[in-house]
């Protein structure tokens, strides 16, 4: 299933800098876009979302951008903190079911 792709399997960032995680999709039917964070041995934890009618949503250090024409979603974390180190999944909704990307492992170095 290549409908949703996270092309970077890992990302390493210095504490205090910006982390940018990317997600590309092919299906125009997706209407709601979410980011989840996952620690080992835990389930995905909802982080932030955006509806297809918007292009930006901000919540504290986290901002999600949606470029519908490019079918591209990104998550910005600024400033990054060591506790942000985890696997981040984009998950796209169509018809009340989520299609997940493969995840990006973010490592924030102190």
Partner 1 sequence: EPEVTQTPSHQVTQMGQEVILRCVPISNHLYFYWYRQILGQKVEFLVSFYNNEISEKSEIFDDQFSVERPDGSNFTLKIRSTKLEDSAMYFCASKLDRVWNQPQHFGDGTRLSIL
Pairwise CA distance, residues 10 & 8, whole Å: 5
Determine whether 62 is exposed, middle or buried from the number of CB atoms within 10 Å of its CB (0-12, 13-18, 19+).
middle
Q: Which is nearer to partner 1, 57 or 74 (CB)?
A: 57
Question: For residues 36 and 62, what is the distance between their CA atoms, to the nearest angstrom?
Answer: 12
CA dihedral 43, 9, 66, 97 (to 10 degrees): -40
Q: Does 31 bind partner 1 (CB under 8 A)?
A: yes
What is the closest distance, in whole angstroms, from the C-beta atom of residue 59 to partner 1 in the complex?
Answer: 12
Q: Does 70 participate in binding partner 1 (rule CB under 8 A)?
A: no
Q: Is residue 62 near partner 1 by the rule CB under 8 A?
A: no
Determine, following the binding rule CB under 8 A, whether residue 102 of this chain makes contact with partner 1.
yes
Binding site for partner 1 (CB under 8 A): 1, 31-32, 34, 36, 41-46, 49, 51, 89, 91, 93, 95-103
């Amino acid at each position: 299933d290549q409908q949703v792709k996270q092309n970077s399997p890992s990302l390493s960032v210095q504490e205090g800098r910006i982390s940018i995680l990317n997600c590309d999709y092919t299906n125009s039917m997706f209407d709601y876009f979410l980011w989840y964070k996952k620690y080992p041995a835990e389930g995905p934890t909802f982080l932030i979302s955006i509806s297809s009618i918007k292009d930006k949503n901000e919540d504290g250090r986290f901002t999600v951008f949606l470029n519908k024409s490019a079918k591209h979603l990104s998550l910005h974390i600024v400033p990054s903190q060591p506790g942000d180190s985890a696997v981040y999944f984009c998950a796209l909704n169509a018809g009340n079911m989520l299609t997940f990307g493969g995840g990006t492992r973010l490592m924030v170095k102190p």
